[in-house]
Structure 1
């Protein structure tokens, strides 16, 4: 990778950390310069506007997410079972509020930005499509087919649970069992596995 490529990667990672820690209001060129420990003005030279900053973060996270899921799908073991898939999704859910906390906090901030920014929205779409494609492939591999709507429901549920676990008071998270990654994963996988029309009926009954 060229030196310029390395610098872009450095700035993108720093921008993720700033967005996760300080939110959209705190995402400034100077804050990223400080986080990346580069001379003042460096970030503005690469990403002149706030829109460019958000799009750079979205592109960085989308690229990493898609590459990781493609690698996962290319290396699915022949003997993978349903419990392996459950364990995989439970681990993913745990990472959202654990080792990958910054990336997922930044992702949630991007979802808010995506309401107004079509470029960010398109990149979030790449992330979601990769997650859906992966869920469909993994479930086909274990003989439990899941449609794209069910996989989309699973993806949205994972994000919603992670957001609640990260943003609600700790005692409420404990009371509601939102830290029970294994149990939550089983529930989300079960709901996602319901046929599309049945899933809609379940949600309609729940909302009513």
Structure 2
């Protein structure tokens, strides 16, 4: 039998797949048991309520995401360029609609749950903070300045664009250019740049 920690990860991964496929309404103990191929009642034994399941998935995704970004920030090469960063964000957009599709759709369902669940909201806050910290550090590494406000705008833009890529009709996605991750990444990075903030904010930040 798997160790308890491994069993929790198994259930969390199964819950992510259920959320991605069936949405929040489909996230039941039985659905997770079936997806994880464990005896009926296993999920309920670990997480007695649906609220507990949502929180467990949120914390699991937050832990994975923050650790991945912590590793990324510790390995930024000295010769990194602005084009490298744009390519990184473009790759993130591609992953959200391909290899990481399930995780992204589960994350979106968690955002809906967070409107009503403060504990889930806190876990999602950890993800956003990690994204903001990473964006600021990457821009600093190439001699550019991005405020935390701008980095937050970048994060929100990435989420919104990825959702549009997945949820809009294909012809509209093509018409609006949402099928161009490279162009979208550059546009979002430009939008989030400090030069787009009010001049008074820039002056105040420089003076502090």
Shorter chain as denominator, the TM-score bin is over 0.9
TM-score (norm 1): 0.93
Distance verdict in 2 for CA 1:182–1:32, change over 3 Å: same
Alignment of 1:1-208 (within 5 A): 3-195=3-195, 197-198=197-198
SS at match of 1:190: helix
CA distance in 2, matches of 1:184, 1:137: 20
TM-score by length of 2: 0.93
**What's the CA shift for 1:175?**
1.2
Distance 1:123 1:43 in 2: 21
Deviation at 1:171, TM superposition (A): 1.3
- Structure 1 contact 150–195 (Cα < 8 Å) conserved: no
Alpha-carbon shift at residue 145 of structure 1 (Å):
1.3
Please state how far the C-alpha of 1:196 moved relative to its aligned partner: 6.3
For the aligned residues, what is the CA RMSD? 1.2
Distance 1:104 1:37 in 2: 23
Q: Is the 8 A contact 2:145 2:194 kept in 1?
A: no
Q: Matched residues in 2 for 1:124 and 1:40: separation?
A: 29
Task: Give the whole-Å Cα distance in 1 for the aligned partners of 2:5 and 2:81.
Answer: 40
Q: Residue deviations 1:132-182, cap 9 Å, x none?
A: 000000000010111101100000000000011111111111111101000
Aligned equivalents of 2:108 and 2:18: distance in 1?
13
Residues 89 and 185 in structure 2, CA contact (< 8 A), matched pair in contact too: yes
Structure 2 unpaired stretches of 5+: 200-208
Structure 1: gaps spanning 5 or more residues: 200-208
1:147·1:196 contact (CA, 8 Å) conserved in 2?
A: no
Shift of 1:194: 3.1
Write out per-residue CA displacement over residues 38-64 of structure 1, whole angstroms, 9 at most, x where no aligned residue.
000000000000000100110011001
SS at match of 2:79: coil
